[in-house]
Structure 1
Amino acid sequence: MTKEEDITRSAIAEAVGNDETIRSTKREREPRPQSLPPPPLTITRAQKRISTIFKKPPPRFPRFMDLPAEIRMQIWEESFEYRVHELHPCAKLYNDRMTFRSNSSQTPAIFHVNRESRAIALKNYQLMKFDPVRGNTGKGILRFYFHPERDTLLLNSLMGLFMMFVLLEEEADYAGTMKGWQTVAFDAERAQLITLLSGIHGHAPQPRIKEVFPSLQKLIIAFDYTSRGKTRFRTSVWPGENGTSLKKFPWPVMESTEFDNIFNPMREYLENDFEKGSVPEIHVAKVKRKAFIRGDIRYAFRKSCAFVGVRPRGIFRRI
């Protein structure tokens, strides 16, 4: 083979290699590789999938703010709940002052939605703040928000006894301490003690209901048939779950000495105390409480620790 034939062959090979059409035909003829299997599920992807499962769903109506302001106001007002605040002792301070906490003390959800909802909530809700009177002893209440028109203050147990002495106290230190409450429920036993310890109209001591509750419009006599400490305790250990409710029933038609001994004196006290203004209405209701399994477990744990004489440590202190 001569040098000229070698040169022509190399030139033809270069021309064929540079030709795109011939290259494409070669690629088409080559067998395609099979599709690779998907990569194994890594830990990060598993975490993302798990987080998406437990993540809160997005809002179902994202164009809520495009609604007219009047409709938005009505929706915000419909979100207000009817709650019953039952006060329970939660701590004893170094100066022997007892501190009480509401079992519905959790801030309503309308405070946390957006700026507009919080502004509406601040217009309708009030901050319950009660500090003990100066002195060596007294009782205070942890602050919480309440709706004056929809929420009810239930006074029973230790707080009912304390308010009973506050109403019969002659000093004016407690005047206006429970301002803003329009609906107040008294335990039937505490109301009966008030009628027994109070004097006849015109004679001391007289319950100063208007001074302590200046905004009172409705007084409820609540009958608590489950007065056991266990039932009361389970509603106090988990605040925010609205464990207490009042079920109203009609005024008793039949005559009863128990009802007469409670309602007749209370009606006279209200008429004498609110003679210059509108007299509050008197209603009858029954106290109902939710059965919390967590509360029962905590109650049993605390009782067993107290019986054995062991103080819980670490994370068990939260139980």
Structure 2
Amino acid sequence: MTVRIRSRLILAGASASALFVAACSLTGFDGFVGPKKLGASDDTSLPEDGDASSDASSADPGAASDAGADSGPTSEVPPSFVDGGTFCAQAPNSTATFCDDFDGTPLDVKWVREGVFANLSTASPSSAPNDFFMNAPANTGIGTFVSKITRSFVVPSTNLVVAFDFNPEKVHDGTAALMLAALEYQKGTAKYSLRLVYGNGAVRLEESDLVAPPNNKDTYHPYFNVPLGKWTRVKLDVVASGNNPGVTVSLDDVAVGLRETITPTPGLDPVPTLILGAVFAANPQSGWALRYDNVTVNYR
């Protein structure tokens, strides 16, 4: 269970012109290709996801509650893994296709860490004992910067639920865009991604069809508010194939608006990749500090 602290809403009020700038900021941009972390190996291996038990078995058995007040190391020191994270060991998370509470194993065991722009660590236990912390410095120049963690699966699924605890401690209220999470499908150079993107101080679902012109396009869904400075359970219920593809976004199990109809690129490999972290695009910004915890993926 994640500790709930501090409450201030990210504001969604922005002028029409500002919204237009944000809408265009990531058009046609494949933000998921970035340099590996300095010194990282090119042959980083991941455990296979053969069935629901394969990833669930990596949870810490016999551990204590994943809850408590802020304590322990700060984000600037190496991670201290405490035998105390039972989120992934408890039902129903113990049978999830994939689960990570960032408490039992180093980050690189389950994720590929990429990008040198932001600090990516699991030594920031605001939801005891550890969580994943993305801390990006302010950028006063113009450009695109990548920092993220990626989990690639080997078993196909276009019908799944992705959920994670999310605490945005610091965000940029201007038009600089940041991808806080994404689910993508790919075949060759063609790619389709579902993204949760910050812009103008609010969050929205975006679709990006990264295929050869003229079929490439980006689709933007309505903005919604995410509480700033407190933990919220974010859930994406995704159906990316069939006659009625769509996504329902929920915050603390309350749906945000209506189910959004999506238009996935046909013919892609139905094997998903999950991305957490950030892509910074095109505008100066004042820095970001985002925390993630208790990540689950459930195939249906």
Between structures 1 and 2, the one with greater strand share:
2
TM over 0.5: same fold?
A: no
Structure index of larger Rg: 1
Between structures 1 and 2, the one with greater helix share:
1
